[in-house]
Amino acid sequence: MKIRQATLQDLPGILELIEEAKQSLAARGVDQWQNGYPDAMVITNDIQKRQSYVMEANRSIIGTAAILCEEDPNYQKIEDGQWLTSGPYGVVHRIAIHPDHKGQGLAGCFFSYAWQLCQSANCVSLRIDTHQDNEAMQHAIRRFGFTYCGMVQMADGSPRKAYEYIGEEKDHGF
**Which whole number is the average pLDDT over 59-63?**
95
Q: What is the chain's alpha carbon radius of gyration, rounded to the nearest angstrom?
A: 15
**Which whole number is the average pLDDT over 150-173?**
83
Identity at 147, one-letter amino acid code: T
Residues of the chain above pLDDT 90, percent: 87
The yes-or-no verdict on residue 8 having pLDDT over 70 is yes
Q: Give 24's pLDDT tier (boundaries 50, 70, 90).
A: very high
pLDDT of residue 72: 95
Give the distance from CA 124 to its chain's centroid: 17
Strands (E), 69-158: 89-97, 125-130, 147-153
**Bridge partners (DSSP) listed for residue 163:** 128, 148
**Single pTM value for the model:** 0.92
pLDDT of residue 168: 62
Q: How far apart are CA 127 and CA 164, in angstroms?
A: 4
DSSP-derived pairing of the beta strands 60-68 and 89-97: antiparallel
